[in-house]
Amino acid sequence: MKKQNDVNFMNTNQPTNQPTNQPTNQPTNQPTNQPTNTSYENPFDDPIIVSEYANGSFGDLANVSTSREQILQIRKEVIGLKMPNLLDVGCATGNLSRNLASWGVETRYTGCDPSMEMIRVARGLGNESLCVAALPNLPFRNHAFHTTTCFGTLLLVDDKESALQELSRVGHRVIFDIIAKPGDSLRTRYVAANGREVEVELLGYEDMRRISELFDCFVVGQGDIVPTLGGFPDISSYLKWYCIYFENC
């Protein structure tokens, strides 16, 4: 596993491997005739979103320079193949547990998610050790887990520092991913290919750097995102996806 703790978070140049002739004012993956999920107090209880999580399509970033297969390989390498137990925070429908099984990882899997519907579907897909819980208040004792993962979730959390402190409290190792942008942090919307949208917060590079230094993080993978192709229609600058790792002493 290659640790890239010298990543330049302030690099705002457009990646050379991304198309430069894409329009920046309209998302190409947003159908105009799809209703939004405004009737759900928790948008992740929307059956359409739950279904797309279950089949692995919701949240796909259409033009991340790192492919889905490469992202999964990065996660596999940093997670490892054997550990006593693992907590998947923001587990949704338990896709990571199926990834772990396909990779041959030996561990006891536990998942938690704030959506009761996600947990219901995850149980139906064969996951047993699950609970409804949300950051930054997890119902687990200190350092109950060898490894704590948090993929695709910190975007949805307001206080990311408190969330990372909680992940650190319950796990000896913490692996998470994040999307960062040039300039200041920004609340915006993510629009999925099916037209459903959720509110998210993208970290500014300076906030990203501060958090990285606070938790002594290592970047183990990264990719570039064209925001209008990756579901962020209100963003004009290129974004960065990072997979990040740190350990407690």
Residue 84 burial (10 A CB sphere; 0-12, 13-18, 19+)? exposed
For 36-174, where are the alpha helices, taking DSSP H only?
A: 47-54, 68-79, 95-103, 116-124, 160-170
How far CA 132 is from CA of 161, 172, 224, 231, in Å, comes to: 21, 22, 32, 27
| Residue of 153, 110, 157, 150 lying closest to 136 (CA atoms) | 157
CATH class of 43-247: alpha beta
**Angstrom distance (rounded) from CA 57 to CA 55:** 6
* pLDDT in single tens digits along all 249 residues of the chain: 544 544 444 343 444 444 434 443 444 444 434 444 456 777 788 888 788 777 766 554 445 666 778 888 899 999 999 999 999 999 999 999 999 999 999 999 999 999 999 999 999 988 889 999 999 999 999 999 999 999 989 999 989 999 999 999 999 999 999 999 999 999 999 887 677 888 999 999 999 999 999 999 999 999 888 777 678 889 888 889 999 999 986
Question: Could you state, in order of their start, the residue ranges of all structural domains in the chain?
Answer: 43-247
